[in-house]
Structure 1
Amino acid sequence: MGYDIKRFLVPVNEGLFCGICRGVLEDPVQAPCEHAFCRVCIYEWLLTEHTCPEDRQVLLLHDLKPLFRYMKNDLNKLKIKCRNSLKGCNYSCNLEFISAHTRECKFEIMTCPNMECSDSILKMDLHDHLKECRDKSKMCAKGCGIAVSNMDDREHNCIQELRSAIEILRSEMVLQIENQKKEMENRLAIQREYMVKRESAMQAEITDLRNEISRISQKLKLLLDLEERRKADFDKMENERKELFEMLKNLQRQQRALNNCPNCQPTNNGKVTTI
């Protein structure tokens, strides 16, 4: 989740807001389409979705990259108040140092470390609280290493407590493994769905390319047929030209022969009469 805008002492550029929670970016990452999100926000989003929340382009976990350096620098330079300002903390600093302050802030709320005590107290009051805590605990004198309260000291059984601690650890490990397994299954499902869609898109592209190649082949065949016809027509015209040229030459020879014949005399009407 991002930082509350009300904590900032200076105006914040709109490009530094998370596209999901709309808070100021916290531990930011960036999609290839250059939209930025809080790491926790986008990780939770990608457990069920596989697109960018802003423009719906395909987005997978491995596509996320660190924020641009200039944006990171602008983010780190923002002045922010401590989250405990309403409890009395007046500290403010650049955003890049606020996490370190929060870990040390005396106005942070914490739970009493004694096992049986559930009181929530300010960190600054912890020392005084421990002096008066009715559930004040101490280390087991028998050496099992478990802290027990004064009230439970007589009923404490090291073996039973250690067994309980081991069972709790085992349960926590099983739960953690199950959660990791579910997360991996979700990521694999997202990746699988993306690959299926990508394969389908590629098959469609291949089909389109094949159809286009078929159309081009048909056009090429038509052009070749037209070229063959044009060539045949050209050859035919060339043969006819040669025949006409030969006929013209024959007519010219016959004309010259007639002109040179002493027995042929032209008549008054222009016709030649043979004597």
Structure 2
Amino acid sequence: MGLDIERFMCQVNEGLLCCICKDVLEEPLQAPCEHAFCRQCIQGWLVNECSCPEDRQTLFLSDLRPLFRYMRNDLARLRLRCQFSHLSGCIKTLFAAFPLHEVTCPHTECALTMTRRELVEHILLCHECPLGCGALILSSRDEELHNCVAELRTTIEVLRAELLCQVDDQRGEMNARLDSQRAHMVQRERALKTQIDALKVEMGQLSEQLQRFLELEAGRGLELDRLAAERAELKNMLEEIQRKQADGGMCPTCSCSGKSRVTNV
């Protein structure tokens, strides 16, 4: 949880407020989408969720990063009232010096805040379960009420929830990839179909040209046959004329026979 905004002695920029608890950031962490949260707030949120509470983008604990330097500097310059002023005599302090007055138990699962003089006594009482379940015992009463099975069951449920979130995220990513591949295949199929249709048209045109060429060749063949027949006929006629001339002694240039006499004048 963050620090109550009423404790601050100046106007606090909205960018320095936690997006979950709406208090001033404490141990701030930042998501890739640049939304800032208190460490405890965002860790508690991500136990059951796998997205940013502001814009619902996918978010895991491993994605969180420290706050921007300029925002950390703005936080460090804020002045706030010390809630232990009756013990320390301090009325106000800089946010940067806040840990000197109010410290948190070093155990990661313990959220208690106290003065440094109270911390030593608290650490003697705050310890992990001696049976090995990893739960944190904050007091003797907690130790009496502690149930290792229940703690382990809770831990398993948290891990199962996070695993399900990761599986859902991976399934969504896989489906997105499959959709992309499917769209690419459909587009590729359309392009190939267009190419095939174009090739069919081109083949049809070539087939028509070939048919016309064959028809022309057939016509030329008939013409050559006709010319050959005429040539043979003319040749026969010429041979017939030559044979008649040879048999009758006819002059090749006139109709007189070879026995006729020519009268000289």
By the TM > 0.5 criterion, same fold? yes
Name 1:206's counterpart in structure 2. Answer: 181
Contact 1:28–1:36 under 8 Å retained in 2: yes
Call closer, same or farther: CA 1:56–1:123 in 2, change over 3 Å. Answer: closer
Per mean C-alpha deviation after superposition, the further-off stretch among 80-89 and 196-205 is 80-89
CA contact (8 A) 2:101 2:116 kept: no
Q: Percent identity?
A: 35
Distance 1:223 1:22, change over 3 A: farther
In structure 2, what is the equivalent of residue 54 of structure 1? Answer: 54
1:100 counterpart SS class = helix
Determine the C-alpha separation between the residues in 2 that align with 1:57 and 1:17: 20
Cα deviation code 1:39-94 (max 9, x no counterpart): 11111111111111111111112111111111111112211111245899543222
- What are the equivalent positions in structure 2 for 1:1-275 lying under 5 Å apart? 1-84=1-84, 90-103=90-103, 169-170=130-131, 173=134, 175=148, 178=152, 180-228=155-203
Partners of 1:222 and 1:201 lie apart in 2 by: 31
Letter in 2 for 1:60: F
Alpha-carbon offset, residue 215 of structure 1: 1.8
Letter of the structure 2 residue corresponding to residue 217 of structure 1: L
**Which whole-Å CA distance do the structure 1 matches of 2:103 and 2:205 have between them?**
89
Structure 1 60/220 Cα, relative in aligned 2: closer, same or farther at 3 Å?
Answer: farther
Shift in Å, 1:231: 6.5
How far is 1:195 from its partner? 1.4
Q: Tell me how far 1:26 sits from its aligned partner.
A: 0.7
Pick closer, same or farther for the CA change 1:226–1:28 going to 2, 3 Å. Answer: farther
Q: How many residue pairs are counted as aligned between the two chains?
A: 181
Larger radius of gyration: 2
**TM-score for the superposition, normalised by structure 1:** 0.55
Segments of structure 1 that go 5 or more residues without pairing to the other structure are 105-121, 126-167, 239-275
- 1:199 is paired with a residue of what secondary structure? helix
Residues of 1 paired with 2:182 and 2:171: CA distance? 16
- Please tell me whether the aligned partners of residues 79 and 95 of structure 2 are also in contact (alpha carbons under 8 angstroms): yes
Q: Hey, what's the Cα distance between the residues in 2 that align with 1:62 and 1:124?
A: 34
For residue 220 of structure 1, what is the amino acid of its counterpart? Q
Q: 1:99 to 1:88 in 2, by over 3 A?
A: closer
Q: CA deviation at 1:229?
A: 5.2
Aligned-residue Cα RMSD (Å) equals 3.6
Indicate how the Cα distance of structure 1 residues 98 and 88 shifts in structure 2: closer, same or farther if over 3 A, else same: closer
Question: Cα offset for 1:35?
Answer: 0.8
User: Displacement, 1:213?
Assistant: 1.7
Shift of 1:219: 2.3
Cα offset, 1:23, TM superposition = 0.7
> Structure 1 residues 3 and 217, CA, compared in 2 at 3 Å: closer, same or farther?
same
SS in 2 for 1:47: helix
Rounded to whole Å, the distance in 2 between the matches of 1:73 and 1:41 is: 21
Say if 1:82 and 1:89, in contact at 8 Å, map to a contact too.
no
Q: Distance in 1 between matches of 2:196 and 2:188?
A: 12
Is residue 30–residue 67 contact of structure 1 (8 Å, CA) maintained in 2?
yes
Q: Which amino acid aligns with 2:100?
A: A
Task: Give unmatched runs, 5+ long, in structure 2.
Answer: 105-114, 119-128, 136-147, 214-265
Give the CA deviation at 1:183.
3.7
